[in-house]
Chain A
Amino acid sequence: MSVAPAAARHYSALALLRARIAGPGYWRPLWTGRKLQPAYDVVVVGAGGHGLATAFHLARDHGIRRVAVLEKRLVGYGNVGRNTTIVRSNYLLPENHYFYEDSLRRWETLSRDLNYNVMYSPRGVVDLALTDDAFPALARRGNAMRLAGIDAELLDLVALERFAPELEPRRKRRFPIVGALLQRRGGTVRHDAVAWGYARAASARGVDIIEDCEVTGVRTAANAATGVETTRGYVQAERIVFATAGHTGTVGTMLGTALPIETHLLQAMVSEPIKPLINSVIVYVSPGNGETYICQSDRGGLVMGGHLDGFPSYTREGQWHRLEDVVQGAVELFPRIGGVKILRQWAGTNDMTMDGSPIMDRLRYDNVFVNAGWCYGGFKAIPASGAAFATFVATGTAPDLIRAYRLSRFATGHMLDEPGQGPFPVRL
């Protein structure tokens, strides 16, 4: 008989004092190495942000005790540790901005809810217009947000200079800045801390987090799934949740269902640390180089990302010429960073849907749930997605917040095509 490992300590000022007195050995691992059990109420596949958050809410809000999170690699190995850490809710479509606003509100209190510092930094997200036609589009988006009660400010050059003097908005450039849309509550969150915080909080509520355990198949009987085949043997499950991001398409193949998803790569990069230069998150589409977003990490590195690599891939190897596009876009805006060296570059696999919005629905069987299609915007959605999806899985009824994300919308013509680009993964 194995002894249940001790749960992680609660973090508080008092705990710091206790640790000081108790000496080394006081702190315990954030999540415990539990053994895989033969049967569970809910098996969540994928220990990324969405999977862990769903498991956490299943255990905390719905009292489901036997929950396992199965992870092929390590907690946080996938996209939750590969993004550019930006959180915001500046969407145009009502279905999207209400959902992401729910998420942003949860980010604001997440550190307290998880008893883990996720370093939410509301430093402001600034969308720049570098062309005359981009500015009215930003104004339209900002107005849509304000009608929904979400904070949005349209900035002219004077106001932008006051908010972000480092941009030198009135400097002469090939593509001069026209104006900007600011969401002050948007900002960044320490991405790894989100994975670790949710894993710790879920584990403390009895969720089994099993790493190095790949799901290879789904066993079915009489029109229902009965469990999953894994590299560690068969696991019986009453309900199965897939939160596998870029590998959702292959989950569909596993279940014999083609999905409106293509897996694309998105790369990001970080420079060597420099002195504080950029105080907010800057997002823009430069007419020559496509989309660039740039912010500065607490360590001082410039975190940059851009658009998709442009074709389906599972390799996690970004294309060099896309990296060049992003860096050119960044240097165009901030010529003074031209001499700064890139320190690291990486890519994540993105489950790109055919309208750019997520899919949260059942998949083929009544007890198989898929939380997918987050494209390259999944990180900011984690808290709302976990809470809403756990409700869906526990009660069998999708909350209003995510009802628009049903899979059947593609067949019925109710797409949520935020950029209005037609049946293709979002291209910028």
Chain B
Amino acid sequence: MTRIACPFCGPRELREFEFHKTLPTPGAQGAFARTYERVADPALSVEHWQHVAGCRAWLLVHRNPSTGVVFAVELAGEVMP
């Protein structure tokens, strides 16, 4: 994993991006779960990233944290971290 394809800027170097947070468990209820608990799936991680050194868009990155393969990158839109 050395590059992320930003929907606006195209494939850019990893260091232009900043990881923010893994999405909470689907169906996570309450402030505690949403704030602290994290999905730990070695095959798929869905995360909020920001293209801080580029267009500054908030992104949802779907990756495999065991291999570094990026499956998809989309705009975060209304999905809350």
Contacts and interface: CB of A to CB of B under 8 A. Distances in A.
A311 B47 contact: yes
Interface string B27-47: 010001101111111100101
Contacts, number: 65
A321 B67 contact: no
Interface in A230-276: 248-250, 252-253, 258-263
B21 A424 contact: yes
A346 interface: no
Contacts of A395: none
B24 to A, nearest CB: 8
Contacts of B18: 310
A261 B38 CA distance: 6
B40 A321 contact: no
A83 B32 CA distance: 32
A312 B25 contact: no
Interface in B23-81: 25, 28, 32-33, 35-42, 45, 47, 49, 65-68
A222 interface: no
| Size range of the chain B interface in the assembly | 20 to 34
Given A258-B33, A261-B40, A423-B36, A311 B15 contact: no
Contacts of A248: 40
Nearest to B35: A423
Given A313-B68, A410-B32, A411-B32, A260 B37 contact: yes
Contact of A319 (B14, B38, B39, B40): B14
A312 B22 contact: yes
A315 B36 contact: no
Given A311-B19, A314-B42, A321-B15, A263 B33 contact: no
Contacts of B41: 250, 253
Nearest to B28: A258
A354 B36 contact: yes
A317 interface: yes
A260 B42 contact: no
A259 B47 contact: no
B47 A258 contact: no
Contact of A258 (B19, B38, B42): B38
A408 to B, nearest CB: 10
Contact of A312 (B13, B28, B36, B65): B65
B5 to A, nearest CB: 16
Contacts of A258: 25, 28, 33, 37-40
B38 A249 contact: yes
B40 A259 contact: yes
Given A250-B40, A253-B41, A312-B22, A317 B33 contact: no
Contacts of A354: 35-36
Given A258-B33, A311-B19, A315-B67, A263 B40 contact: yes
Contacts of B19: 310-312
> Most chain-A CB neighbours within 10 Å: which of B32, B40, B66?
B40
8 contacts: A248-B40, A258-B25, A259-B37, A263-B40, A310-B18, A313-B1, A321-B13, A354-B35
Interface of B: 1-2, 13-15, 18-19, 21-22, 25, 28, 32-33, 35-42, 45, 47, 49, 65-68
